[in-house]
Amino acid sequence: MSFYKPFPAIINSKPILIYAENGLERVLFRERKDSIEKHLEAIYHKNHKHLHSGEFHIAFVWSDDEDIMSDIWIFENLAVWKANPTVDAQNFRGLDFEEGYGVTAGDELMILGKEEEFRRTTPGLEQYLDIERPAIPKLISEDNFYL
């Protein structure tokens, strides 16, 4: 699994970093500049009880045949920015919470590890979300999802 270059967004007042899978264009339009955000907004609206916590989230959005899958990682306890956060994950198929689906694939774990290393080098959340990410060859392309 590989991903387009990540991008930040605000979904339901929550800062979120979005990774879109290469191939997601089979189910979401690259030409429509908010297709991923609209999908995530619908997930957050329907599943508030699963997604209300955390200071920021990282979402991996990918396709499983015709289904849009979303693995949303919830980061909490960031009062000391460069310390160790608490992290939880929630999985969704379409707009529905997936109970017992499993947490994630190995490629997402590799990216999350790099993200955590990178987060600790930045001065705060705003800078972390807005700055260009370091390259992760074979996992993240240099292309943006939106055309």
pLDDT (tens digit per residue) in 72-91 = 999 999 988 888 999 999 99
Domain count for the chain, please give it. Answer: 1
Inform me whether the pLDDT recorded for 104 exceeds 80. Answer: no
The answer to whether residue 42 sits within a structural domain is: yes
The residue ranking higher by pLDDT, 39 or 147, is 39
The answer to whether residue 136 sits within a structural domain is: no
pLDDT (mean) for 115-127: 94
DSSP 86-141: EEEEEEEETTEE-TTS-S--HHHHHHHHHHHHHHTTSSSHHHHHHSPPPP-TTTB-
Q: What is the pLDDT, as a whole number, of residue 102?
A: 66
Tell me, what amino acid is at 4? Answer: Y
pLDDT (mean) for 99-122: 88
The answer to whether residue 108 sits within a structural domain is: yes
Query: Measured between alpha carbons, how far is 99 from 110 in angstroms, rounded to an integer?
Result: 23
Task: Quote the tokens at residue 141.
Answer: 């392309």
The answer to whether residue 146 sits within a structural domain is: no
Task: Quote the tokens at residue 53.
Answer: 């916590």
pLDDT (mean) for 10-34: 94
Q: Which residue segment(s) compose the domain that 89 sits in?
A: 7-130
pTM of the model: 0.95
Q: Buried (b) or exposed (e) across 116-127, using 16+ Cβ within 10 A?
A: eeebeeeeeeee
The answer to whether residue 15 sits within a structural domain is: yes
- pLDDT bin (cut points 50, 70, 90) of residue 2 is very high
